[in-house]
Chain A
């Protein structure tokens, strides 16, 4: 039992990891097809696990309705919409054009006018959250926060037409020697050098961490993701 639960998964991970590594260096058959094959296997297995997801969803919402928990009305709405979507989507188009998943069907109507619209609404909330997060970030509490505030102001103003008007006034009316203070130039500098340098440093660290973590998993050093202690 312990073998099946602990050792066997590690052996599978080790074999798969080593095979994928070989396939990375050997473009010859059978290794060249291995990656595609493994991806298809995963898709098939993941397709079957969707049943687990639906079971979990139904169980979770059914419990809410049965126990009359706060917001159980939403669970009823979820059941009604889920059943309706499945019913309209699964029934063949031959019965009626409103069935199936072609253009003009109820299934597509639900997708386009309920699902897409609702997703867009949630996404648009991001604008307001960015405003509140920016307010919190730009409060001048320390030297770091002050530097960030000034930098953010330069970049924000430098990206809008007012920034260009201000920069033109600076160089045309005050002095050409102040060209280095043009907001478009400063914005480009900030975005192309300090930002890129920082992002690259993070990316390089991430690359090394990916290799190191993959090695830990493939070699069975890291097995917490299978439950239990290492």
Chain B
């Protein structure tokens, strides 16, 4: 009786083993190594990566993953270097290398790093302590294999392919932007020539810039100072450079009207540039003695310390006019509302999309985005500057036409789904052309 019981237990055990083995076999049977496995040099890069490419396989899902193994030799030990869900990382996600073809979603493309030859670099700290770190010298020939994984089951491929990255001399994916840049160069020079022949070229009125004289005049009449802020960023930002250019015009007017200009700065470099620009404006106005470098000063590099510093100047000095020109962040409304509470006439100009509504609400005039960049050219009235503004308008017109054409084509594609021309033809061409990578 006992023997029979033991026999049953053994039979059940083997039955369980057989079922497990069958199930295991069934699962691993669905795992297949992807076909068309290739390792290529990443196009148009600085030679620090390779692309592993293989075909999309049936039954891909987030439960299944692809694994990429790497080794320094064909027969050496391969270690896992990357793993990603099988329904991700398609060729279509990398339009910069493969374009916008529909077939790009039929294969996977994953960027991998090669094995590098390293060298030791010794770094001596200020305290005299010497530390050794490693620096890349050159990429070595690396071998790759691919594998597939589902749950606890993994199937590794046997084919090992090698690759070595190369530095490329040209970013082919940026050829379109190069063409656009050359075209813009061309139209800028064309309109500069036009403006030199006809200096009275029409320019759309920008009320905010026209109000600069009014604001300076008001401050002079009231005998109160003018406050000018160049914004959140340092002189390395284009918006700050444009702000400094506007400051030069404002300073010139202030020097002519014998008013006072206060420029609190958030960055020491910007402060130095502002001091030079305002000094030049006073010299050009023939009043170098009236220039006070103490009115252009550094407050703090901290965002809200700067904000509260400028706010306190507005409350104490009660400027008749406030200028906020440049990039601003959360401090925009705090500054503009404090200025509004002191009763100053306020002119703001910013390229920060999210702060434009605050400035529109709290200031008397607001230069919206590109107007900040155009302001200096508008104030300068120099034919060369006017020409570049006209070229900018022409560029906008071309973009508008491209957008309109793309919208029409996509709308037609909805009504005529069988006509490939509307869907993938010319539309993709336009999309590809205007995509900056």
Stretch at the interface among B67-75, B117-125, B208-216, B376-384: B376-384
Residues of the A chain whose Cβ atoms lie less than 8 Å from the Cβ of B220:
none
How many A-B contacts are there with CB distance less than 8 Å?
A: 198
Flag A12-38 by CB within 8 Å of B: 1 or 0 each: 000000000100111111001000000
In the bound assembly, the distance between CA atoms of A70 and B382 in angstroms comes to: 44
Chain A: interface size category: 35 or more
Flag B243-283 by CB within 8 Å of A: 1 or 0 each: 01100110000000000000000011101110011011100
Given A208-B395, A227-B279, A119 contacting B380 (CB threshold 8 A): no
Q: Is the CB of B171 within 8 A of A119?
A: no
Flag B336-374 by CB within 8 Å of A: 1 or 0 each: 110000000000000101001010111000001110011
In the bound assembly, the distance between CA atoms of A31 and B381 in angstroms comes to: 37
Q: Is the CB of B388 within 8 A of A56?
A: no
Distance in Å from the Cβ of B170 to the closest Cβ of chain A? 6
Q: Is the CB of B167 within 8 A of A28?
A: yes
Stretch at the interface among B13-21, B29-37, B42-50, B424-432: B42-50
In the bound assembly, the distance between CA atoms of A215 and B181 in angstroms comes to: 10
Closest to A125 in B: B334
Given A70-B316, A212-B395, A132 contacting B171 (CB threshold 8 A): no
B154 within 8 A of A: no
Q: Is the CB of A205 within 8 A of B169?
A: no
In the bound assembly, the distance between CA atoms of A54 and B267 in angstroms comes to: 11
The SS class assigned to the A binding surface is helix
Q: Is the CB of A122 within 8 A of B271?
A: no
| Residue in B167, B316, B336, B353 whose CB lies within 8 Å of A71 | B316
Q: Is the CB of A59 within 8 A of B294?
A: yes
Can you list 21 A-B pairs with a CB-CB distance of less than 8 A? A27-B167, A28-B47, A29-B46, A46-B268, A50-B268, A54-B298, A56-B271, A56-B297, A60-B294, A60-B298, A122-B308, A129-B337, A204-B396, A213-B242, A213-B373, A217-B241, A221-B382, A224-B244, A225-B277, A228-B280, A230-B380
Given contacts A52-B272, A56-B268, 9 further A-B contacts (CB under 8 A): A21-B181, A27-B45, A28-B47, A133-B333, A216-B384, A222-B377, A222-B388, A228-B248, A228-B280
Nearest 6 A/B pairs, CB to CB: A227-B280, A53-B268, A209-B370, A122-B304, A209-B373, A224-B245
